[in-house]
Amino acid sequence: MFNHLLSLLIWLPVVGAIPVLLAGSARPNLARWLSLLVAVLTFVVSLFLLVQYNPGGAAMQLVESHLWIASWGVHYGLAVDGISVALIVMTTFVGILVIAGAWEVIQDKPHQYMAAMLILEGLLIGVFCATDALLFYALFEAILIPMFILIGIWGGPRRVYATLKFFIYTFFGSVFMLIALLYLYQKAHTFDLATLAALPLTFTEQAWIFFAFLIAFAIKVPMVPVHTWLPDAHVEAPTGGSVVLAAVMLKVGTYGMLRFILPIVPDAGAHFAWLVIVLSLVAIVYIGYVALVQEDMKKLVAYSSVAHMGFVTLGIFIAFMLVRDQGHTDMAMLGMQGAMIQMISHGFVSGAMFTCIGVMYDRLHTRLIKDYGGVINAMPWFGFFYVLFAMANCGLPGTSGFVGEFMVILASFTANPWIALFAAFTLVIGAGYTLWLVKRVLWGAITNPHVAEMKEINGRETFVLAAFAAAVLALGIWPQPLVHLMDSSVSQLVQQLAIHKI
């Protein structure tokens, strides 16, 4: 049996970027088709992964492990569980759509743009299946390089500021994680995540390591108050960059929490769960209000991303409260499941929202809400998709946005009704900022004469939006396959929460 499926998934896009680069600026179409081919192939391979993966087994599957650095005992270790599989398939799916989305939009050095996207995709897949902490860290940081280039070259007017801020901000967080990992290496003499999970640590050690991990991942998620890089990066990034950033890259932060904070420092995690819960609620409520007053569409969606990611962190850490303090293992499962579904759903919804904004930006070259109005008159089909994604963004039942949020709110109600009350605010605020956005952009009479000249979406754009719409609706109407895929992995995680390591 072929057992290098994960390596293939990582290296196919990374190596595939080389011929794309070689196509050069002289043959932009060749570069485009090549990169699309690579992205589609990667997606197909990830479907194989979906088939190969056995959702019943709780252990990590499709294990690949080669000794990488012998004198340090570092392994090139890859393996997946249900959560990884879901995230990887989402990544490859979004990978096709961003390349299709950038097709003729990127006219300046398209080969470099496409190659950066492919490398980014490969590295992200690597992050989702690394089982060695040092390998994870290297990939986690390496992501920054292509993203830095993507925002810096193809971004908006303030792109240099945004991209430097993005890079330095995220780098700042993760270096402390590196120190924590090196400290753990001193104790365990390995970077293997499973061994680190079994390593006994005193509470003081756990607390320090917890905060080192938290700062790294909280910046990536991003959580309040370290979210300030996100609006800048999103606003200035090219459409494809924003989509990958929102859809996949933010998940790296929450995924890291699952892989590092939960198993390695569960006691500190339980002790400080209140802190993360409070920060998540602040993100949900306060950032929701901040989103309400934005005048820039991209900024609005960026802030709504912060608020939605608040649900993911809430779902993860409410599980601590439920398991440790109250013993509601099944409720904890529900909260965690909700967080996972929210991760996937937010990937599709925010990706779709940014794509929509990109479509409008390509026509009018402005992101300010006041420049639009009555777009539905010029672009009815576009309006249809836009409204659909807006509904998903505010969590309408039947769309994917509803499922995760509902499960998290349900779980937090068991933990503490007050938490649920604050979390449920999002249904009001989220509807507020999203519907108001739709009202100002789509409905009403055309006030700006340029809006009347906007062309209806073409076949390529329709394909991208329709693919997003299909994903959003499929998850909303029938989330069962996704739940089933992640079920045993989530219960494994919840069991780990209960283990005291001191």
Interaction site with other proteins (CB under 8 A) = 68-72, 109, 112, 134, 137-139, 141-142, 144-145, 148-149, 152-153, 159-160, 163-164, 167-168, 171-172, 175-176, 178-179, 182-183, 185-186
Least separation, in Å, of the C-beta of 8 and other proteins? 17
Q: How far is the CB of 373 from other proteins (least distance, A)?
A: 34
CA distance 430 to 160: 31
Quickly list DSSP for 469-496. Answer: HHHHHHHHH--HHHHHHHHHHHHHHHHH
- Helices (runs of H) and strands (runs of E) counted in the chain: 24, 2
Q: Which is nearer to other proteins, 176 or 203 (CB)?
A: 176
Radius of gyration of the chain (CA): 22
What is the phi-psi region of residue 57: left when phi exceeds 0, alpha when psi lies from -120 to 50, beta otherwise? beta
Smaller CB distance to other proteins: residue 113 or 372? Answer: 113
Residue 346, classified by CB atoms within 10 Å of its CB into exposed (0-12), middle (13-18) or buried (19+), is: buried
Q: For other proteins, give the closer residue by CB, 189 or 370.
A: 189
CB nearer to other proteins: pick between 163 and 414: 163
Nearest in space to 420 (alpha carbons), one of 428, 410, 430:
410
Give the shortest CB-74-to-other proteins separation in angstroms: 8
Reduce the DSSP state of residue 286 to 3 states and report it.
Answer: helix
| Minimum gap (Å) between residue 179 Cβ and other proteins | 6
Q: Which residues of 486-495 are buried (b: 16+ CB within 10 A; e: fewer)?
A: bbbbbbbbbe
- CB nearer to other proteins: pick between 240 and 310: 240
Quote the tokens at residue 353.
Answer: 């929202």
Q: What value, to the nearest 5°, has the Cα angle with vertex 217 and ends 212 and 221?
A: 155
Peptide bond into 222 cis (omega under 30): yes
CA-CA distance, 186 to 190, in Å (whole number)? Answer: 8
**C-beta of 139: minimal distance to other proteins in Å?**
8
* Least CB distance to other proteins at residue 114 (A): 14
Taking the least distance from each CB to other proteins, the nearer of 179 and 452 is: 179
Q: State which residue, 161 or 478, has the beta carbon closest to other proteins.
A: 161
Nearest to 322 by CA among 413, 403, 404: 413
Nearest distance from residue 124's CB to other proteins, in Å? 14
Shortest distance, position 185 Cβ to other proteins, whole Å? 7
Closer by beta carbon to other proteins, 139 or else 464: 139
Beta carbon nearer to other proteins, 183 or 381: 183
> Could you give the C-alpha distances from 154 to 92, 302, 479, in angstroms and in order?
22, 18, 36
In the complex, least distance from residue 319 CB atom to other proteins, rounded to whole angstroms: 31
- Taking alpha carbons only, the member of 176, 416, 131 closest to residue 277 is 416
* Distance set, CA 449 to CA 375, 446, 457 (Å): 11, 7, 18
Shortest Cβ 5–other proteins spacing (Å):
20
Q: Minimal distance in Å, beta carbon 424 to other proteins?
A: 39
DSSP string, 102-167: TTTT--SSHHHHHHHHHHHHHHHHHHHHB-BHHHHHHHHHHTHHHHHHHHHHHS-TTHHHHHHHHH
Closer of 62 and 147 to other proteins (Cβ): 147
* Alpha-helix residue ranges (DSSP H) falling in 221-328: 229-236, 239-244, 250-256, 262-264, 266-271, 273-292, 297-320
Compute the least distance from the CB of residue 330 to other proteins, in Å: 40
394, 328 contact by CB (below 8 A): no
Whether residue 316 contacts residue 269, with contact meaning beta carbons closer than 8 Å, is answered with no
Q: Which of residues 162 and 284 has its CB atom nearest to other proteins in the complex? A: 162
Q: Is the CB of 26 or the CB of 51 nearer to other proteins?
A: 26
